[in-house]
């Protein structure tokens, strides 16, 4: 393991250690005693190392697998309660100079309609998202320094934060940013723009496959891409979000490597990823799924979610609308804490005719096409609290402070009341009558469950304030 600022990814993504871990796990996948010991260890909510977590992932004992899923569910409930954070992606440009073979943005893809939103178009898109009820955005763009410069991205961030909805009280309160790996200097500038999490998917940690799937363009540099989070954290960005694109490589390899990446960041920066995203490869324009032999089936995918939840109890797990309603429901049950809703992956379309845009410039096909309102109603029916909360980030509960706060359990005193308050705002401003009724009922039940009397009284007072048109109230 490398305990200094790394410039060489292979110092912490050690291929031999990954292979050793896979061999060890495969040899012990039926070793009941060993697996039981790891499950026991995980019950203390301190997480697992990559080798232990992989053993659970490959375990093939039916009863033990049932225990693994039930432990993941318990950990999820203990740490996150029934809150589900919601966000929407905003794709602003699909110009790209990379040759990623799985992505329709690929420079060689001639039929993808290229588009970059003007600042006015961004404003319109953001207003449409705000008027749906969104408060959090994941800003997405391809990598093309001529057609989509960093200055353009910075302007877009300003535009997003400055846009208001029909009701001027409604704004986007947190922008997570998913743009290409860059320099420390640029990450510093990004930090100054007051972003939430900097997100970058590794796609695959397997160097050989990485180079096969990223043959050309700036992204083809494995080491530069893999050390991006080191640079982002070194630049002072508080929260980083990791992820792999499942389907490119053997899932066991990328599962293990992602945890090694987390161990590396923790060793050096005392902070692991704020979130882990687990996208699966999807069909897209000129992208033929049958060419990807490592595609992950639903059963394995759910096991991956459960084992991540057990391995990194305090890290948010994100799944997008790449997944359908059934997988999202199961995922939420065993570990997922954030989902996107009402999403479009096309450039523009939130403020225009959705179908027209989806056909022309979408990054991948979404499987969950429900509106945000439909998703909120569905979550309420399942007894989840849909949350648009952005309080931690705005109260500077970020980085190591956030981790300390969540590990000692203090965060729970705030998270549920904040989720309730953000839901109340949604119900007041955007919900249809049936959603409003269902949501109000859930809020009343949830307030009863708040143990701290002081926090309970304040929450009731804040709810009244929201009813009296005050907004953006949080602990």
Q: What is the contact surface with ligand SAM in residues (CB under 6 A)?
A: 102-103, 140-143, 178-180, 201, 203, 245, 279, 281-282, 284, 287, 322, 363-364
Selection from 158, 232, 223 nearest residue 193 by Cα: 158
For ligand SAM, the closer of residues 143 and 239 by Cβ is: 143
Residue 41 vs residues 36, 75, 326, 420: alpha-carbon distances, Å:
9, 13, 31, 33
Selection from 14, 16, 9 nearest residue 226 by Cα: 9
- Alpha-carbon distance of 55 to 35, in angstroms, equals 7
For ligand SAM, the closer of residues 210 and 364 by Cβ is: 364
For ligand SAM, the closer of residues 142 and 342 by Cβ is: 142
Shortest CB 245 distance to ligand SAM, Å: 4
- Alpha-carbon distance of 368 to 374, in angstroms, equals 11
Shortest CB 116 distance to ligand SAM, Å: 13
For ligand SAM, the closer of residues 245 and 443 by Cβ is: 245
Task: State the DSSP H helix or E strand holding residue 127, giving kind and residue range, or none if neither.
Answer: helix 119-132
Shortest CB 424 distance to ligand SAM, Å: 32
For ligand SAM, the closer of residues 125 and 446 by Cβ is: 125
For ligand SAM, the closer of residues 262 and 322 by Cβ is: 322
Shortest CB 102 distance to ligand SAM, Å: 5
Shortest CB 283 distance to ligand SAM, Å: 7
For ligand SAM, the closer of residues 196 and 386 by Cβ is: 196
- Alpha-carbon distance of 306 to 69, in angstroms, equals 6
Shortest CB 243 distance to ligand SAM, Å: 7
For ligand SAM, the closer of residues 52 and 140 by Cβ is: 140
Do the beta carbons of residue 4 and residue 227 sit within 8 Å? no
**DSSP code of 199?**
E
In the chain, helix, strand, coil percent, each to 5? 50, 10, 40
Query: How far is CA 43 from its chain centroid?
Result: 24
Shortest CB 55 distance to ligand SAM, Å: 27
Shortest CB 84 distance to ligand SAM, Å: 22
- Alpha-carbon distance of 159 to 211, in angstroms, equals 36
**DSSP code of 82?**
T
Task: State the DSSP H helix or E strand holding residue 162, giving kind and residue range, or none if neither.
Answer: helix 150-162
∠ CA 175-92-388, nearest 5°, is 30
């Amino acid at each position: 393991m490398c305990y200094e600022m790394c410039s060489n990814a292979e110092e912490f993504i050690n291929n031999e250690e990954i292979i050793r871990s896979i061999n060890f796990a495969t040899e012990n996948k039926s070793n009941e005693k060993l697996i039981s010991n790891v499950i026991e260890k995980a019950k203390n909510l301190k997480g697992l190392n990559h080798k232990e977590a992989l053993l659970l992932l490959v375990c093939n004992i039916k009863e033990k697998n049932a225990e693994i899923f039930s432990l993941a569910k318990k950990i999820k409930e203990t740490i996150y309660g029934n809150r589900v954070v919601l966000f929407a992606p905003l794709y602003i440009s699909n110009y790209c100079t990379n040759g990623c073979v799985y992505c329709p943005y690929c420079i060689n893809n001639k039929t993808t309609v290229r588009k970059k939103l003007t600042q006015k178009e961004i404003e319109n898109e953001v207003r449409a998202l705000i008027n749906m009820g969104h408060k959090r955005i994941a800003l997405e763009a391809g990598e093309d320094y001529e057609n989509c410069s960093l200055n353009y991205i910075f302007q877009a961030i300003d535009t997003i934060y400055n846009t208001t909805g029909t009701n001027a009280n409604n704004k986007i309160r947190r922008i997570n940013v998913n743009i290409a790996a860059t320099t420390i200097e640029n990450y510093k500038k990004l930090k100054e723009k007051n972003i939430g999490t900097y997100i970058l998917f590794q796609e695959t940690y397997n160097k050989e496959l990485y180079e096969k799937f990223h043959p050309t363009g700036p992204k083809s540099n494995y080491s530069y891409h893999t050390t991006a989070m080191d640079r982002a954290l070194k630049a002072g960005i508080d929260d980083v979000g990791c992820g792999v694109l499942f389907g490119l490589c053997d899932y066991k390899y990328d599962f293990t490597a992602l945890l090694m990446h987390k161990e590396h960041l923790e060793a050096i920066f005392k902070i692991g990823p704020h979130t882990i995203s687990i996208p699966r490869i999807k069909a897209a324009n000129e992208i033929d799924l049958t060419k990807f032999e490592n595609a992950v089936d639903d059963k394995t995918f759910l096991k991956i979610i459960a084992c991540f939840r057990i391995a990194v109890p305090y890290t948010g797990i994100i799944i997008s609308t790449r997944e359908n309603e059934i997988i999202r429901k199961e995922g939420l049950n065993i570990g997922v804490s954030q989902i996107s809703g009402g999403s479009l992956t096309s450039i523009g379309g939130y403020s225009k005719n959705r179908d027209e845009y989806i056909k022309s410039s979408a990054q991948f096909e979404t499987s969950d096409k429900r509106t945000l309102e439909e998703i909120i109603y569905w979550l309420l029916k399942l007894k989840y609290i849909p949350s648009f909360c952005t309080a931690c980030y705005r109260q500077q509960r970020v980085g190591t402070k956030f981790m300390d706060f969540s590990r000692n359990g203090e965060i729970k005193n705030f998270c549920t009341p904040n989720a309730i308050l953000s839901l109340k705002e949604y119900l007041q401003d955007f919900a249809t009558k049936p959603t409003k009724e269902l949501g109000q009922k859930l809020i009343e039940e949830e307030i009863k469950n708040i143990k701290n009397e002081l926090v309970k009284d304040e929450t009731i007072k804040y709810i009244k304030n929201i009813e009296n048109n005050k907004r953006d109230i949080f602990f």
